[in-house]
Amino acid sequence: MSGRQTRADRPEGLRERKRRLTRQRIAEVALRLFLEKGYDETTLNEIAFAADISRRTVFHYFDSKDAILLAWQSGAEGIFHTALADASPDSAPIDVVRDALLTMVSRYETGEAIAIDRLLRSTEALRARKQADYKRQEEALFAALVQKWPAPENRVRLRVVAMMGIGAMRIAAEAWSAEQGARSLDAHLQEAFAALTDRAPQE
């Protein structure tokens, strides 16, 4: 394993820790209110009051309620990118992405995650924001893959792998949501990746 120090290895400064904890508190309080009262019925003033901060502070961390609702994904994405960074560069990129996504989805195996997913699909604006977020995830994944396999001749292949990986995750998440968690997200994701290697479509 490389001795190179990663961001996760470096000690967290007091200011950085304070910012992280404040952002986390806002997100947790907002999600609780969204689930208790409903997304549209919850105001930013109520979120600020419940988090014991000013409305201005809320806007310092999040530009909208949409952004707060999507913030719950950041922890899972951190798990995903850590798994990517730790994977062996001798493995096939598509296998690295699959295994990292399977590591990440453990965060989604809760009733709360299903309720949050339902909220994300509850309005047209949130659905549009969620779709745009898939594009951001694809670009971030491509950048992470290029960092692991930096040779220029890999770029086209890695771009395709990033598209396939996020596409598989998107299909799995949609099926999982439609079933209301009847089967695990892990099972849906493995099924989606298996379909990528199935060369004989059903007639």
Across the chain, mean pLDDT equals 84
How would residue 100 be classed by pLDDT, with cut points 50, 70 and 90? very high
Is residue 7's pLDDT more than 80?
Answer: no
Closest CA to 187 of 105, 88, 126, 82: 105
Lowest model confidence (mean pLDDT) among 11-15, 114-118, 133-137: 11-15
How would residue 75 be classed by pLDDT, with cut points 50, 70 and 90? low
Is residue 169's pLDDT more than 90?
Answer: yes
Query: Do 112 and 156 fall within a single domain?
Result: yes
What mean pLDDT comes out for the span 128-154? 91
What mean pLDDT comes out for the span 37-65? 91
Tell me the CATH number at 46. 1.10.10.60
Q: What is the pLDDT of residue 129?
A: 79
> Is residue 5, in this structure, part of any structural domain at all?
no
> Is residue 2, in this structure, part of any structural domain at all?
no
> Is residue 92, in this structure, part of any structural domain at all?
yes
Long-range Cβ contact pairs of 114-122 (< 8 A, separation 24 or more): 114/177, 114/180, 114/181, 115/35, 116/31, 116/34, 116/35, 116/69, 116/72, 117/173, 117/176, 117/177, 118/177, 119/34, 119/35, 119/39, 119/69, 120/69, 120/70, 121/177, 122/39
What tokens were used for 26? 């806002």
How would residue 64 be classed by pLDDT, with cut points 50, 70 and 90? confident
| DSSP-assigned states of every residue in 60-121 | HH-SSHHHHHHHTHHHHHHHHHHHHHHS-TTS-HHHHHHHHHHHHGGGG-SHHHHHHHHHHT
Query: Do 35 and 76 fall within a single domain?
Result: no
> Is residue 7, in this structure, part of any structural domain at all?
no
pTM, 2 dp: 0.73
Query: Do 136 and 189 fall within a single domain?
Result: yes
How many domains does the chain contain in total?
Answer: 2
Query: Do 53 and 88 fall within a single domain?
Result: no
